[in-house]
Structure 1
Amino acid sequence: MKFKEESNKELSTSLKETISSSELSGIGTEIAEITIDSIMNEGVLRDFPIVGALVGVWKTGVAINDHRFLRKMLLFLSESSKLSDEARKDIIEKLDEEDYQAESGEKLIAIIDKLETGSKSILLGRALALFGNKIINKDEFWRVSFIIERLPMSDIIALKEWKETDLNKVFDIRKHLYLSVGIGWFVLNASSTGFCWQERLCEIFAEHLLE
């Protein structure tokens, strides 16, 4: 999916406004069950800035090839809505400060766009909730988001058993994928030789994201 620059800015602003909206918590549990057709036909979700902006972009003919992006966005919002209003407003302030500034909404939209499954959108929403609840910090959120985007879902699910798994014995393709996203690294020193897990990131997935 590709958006014109002006549409990207509108979607970025709209996403941040939606996450901060006090109305999101009231409808969050129903988001995943609402059909795309009902949204296009003036459904209740059209009141949320990001949904209204997406439908507007859709109608202008900018290249949105299917309904998958909106479905992934709704699943992401469904998880995000489980945070308190105060926590969600705090998230936006923190994601927008310093290095990320106004880029946070654009980064989230770009990540959601690249996710190949709805289950990954749910994980990303859970990661945002972890950040809002101060279980992970900002850097960890972006690192986890990168991993969710890049790893196949089967390799993410396998992280549930990381403590019982010797990374040196993981088959090569999966091991190289883990190394490429920072889940593991190669250690060569007096006390250890071989592939080792990045324990903090593994714990985030196994203990918090993969229910």
Structure 2
Amino acid sequence: MEENKFNQIINSEQFAMISDLSEVALDSFTDNEILKDIPLIGTAVKLLNIGNTINDRIFVNKLIKFLKQLDNFENGTILKEIQYLDDSKIYNYKVGEKILEIINRIDSDGKPEIIGRLFRNFIDKKISYAEFLKLTNIVEKAFYYDLILLNNCSPEGKLYIDLDEELYNLGLIQHTGIGLFSPTEEEKKELDKTKYLITERGAMLLEYGLKC
């Protein structure tokens, strides 16, 4: 059976040059030959049959941003984790195919980096593949500029700014007052200042997807 295309990109000799990849501006492509000359990206262009339409350019930029988050990993380490899941047959699709599908669907504003960090932390065994998929699904649904506001969370898990209700609906934040039945006067003052509390799911996304 032919190795899936994402695995072939990771397994290419050019993967070691991933740290040399710089963000490719959409207007820098005058024709498809330029893409093919970029190390690693040229491999992806040929394997994925990428052309020179605006959608192709956007996809390439998202792929670059995702792949750059895997810097410092040897391709053998990545492929080992992918192969383990593919062989387990727990999921009805190959990991590499799912990754390309996700990259194709997500917005280009910062989300590829978030997904890349989540995948990096999956490879590094800090989160499970199931957690990676759940958090990726949230990232895909959320408005990027709402998501990054989670970076304002205090070490105690408190947010002192107003956030969109969508983040609440996605299970990333919760309203204050939970568990405080007999607060002290000092706790009451702090509670009045606190807008939201980050949830366990929100804290996981913050730690493994939003932090560089």
TM over 0.5: yes
Contact 1:31 1:75 in 2 (8 A): no
Aligned partners of 1:77, 1:207: CA distance in 2, in Å?
A: 16
1:22-54 CA distances to partner (integer Å, 9 max, x unpaired)? 635421012234566388213133653x33133
Aligned partners of 1:31, 1:22: CA distance in 2, in Å?
A: 15
Q: Which moved more, 1:102-111 or 1:36-45?
A: 36-45
Aligned partners of 2:58, 2:138: CA distance in 1, in Å?
A: 20
Aligned partners of 1:184, 1:152: CA distance in 2, in Å?
A: 15
Amino acid at match of 2:76: E
Going from structure 1 to structure 2, the CA distance change for 1:33 and 1:64 (only over 3 Å counts) comes to closer
Match of 2:72, SS state, is coil
1:23 aligns with 2:13: yes
1:121-161 CA distances to partner (integer Å, 9 max, x unpaired)? 11211111111111111122112212222222222211112
Q: Which structure shows the higher helix fraction?
A: 1
Name the structure 1 match of 2:125. 134
Aligned partners of 2:83, 2:62: CA distance in 1, in Å?
A: 24
Aligned partners of 1:39, 1:132: CA distance in 2, in Å?
A: 35
1:182 aligns with 2:171: yes
Amino acid at match of 1:140: E
Amino acid at match of 1:181: L
Q: Share of identical aligned residues, percent?
A: 23
Q: Which moved more, 1:123-132 or 1:180-189?
A: 180-189
> TM-score, length-normalised on structure 1?
0.70
Bigger CA radius of gyration: 2
Aligned partners of 1:105, 1:112: CA distance in 2, in Å?
A: 11
Name the structure 1 match of 2:32. 40
Name the structure 1 match of 2:210. 209
Residues 1-211 of structure 1 mapped to structure 2, 5 A cutoff: 13-19=4-10, 21=11, 23-33=13-23, 37=29, 40-41=32-33, 42-43=36-37, 44-45=39-40, 48=43, 50-54=44-48, 56-58=49-51, 65-96=55-86, 97-163=88-154, 166=158, 171=162, 174=164, 176-184=165-173, 191=179, 197-206=198-207, 209-211=210-212
Q: Which runs of 5+ in 2 are unaligned?
A: 182-195
Q: Which moved more, 1:178-187 or 1:66-75?
A: 178-187
Going from structure 1 to structure 2, the CA distance change for 1:161 and 1:83 (only over 3 Å counts) comes to same
Aligned partners of 1:79, 1:180: CA distance in 2, in Å?
A: 28
- Deviation of 1:102 (Å): 2.7
> TM-score, length-normalised on structure 2?
0.70
Contact 1:76 1:125 in 2 (8 A): yes
Alignment: residue pair count: 191
Going from structure 1 to structure 2, the CA distance change for 1:188 and 1:162 (only over 3 Å counts) comes to closer
Aligned partners of 1:65, 1:208: CA distance in 2, in Å?
A: 25
Aligned partners of 2:17, 2:31: CA distance in 1, in Å?
A: 14
Contact 2:23 2:61 in 1 (8 A): no
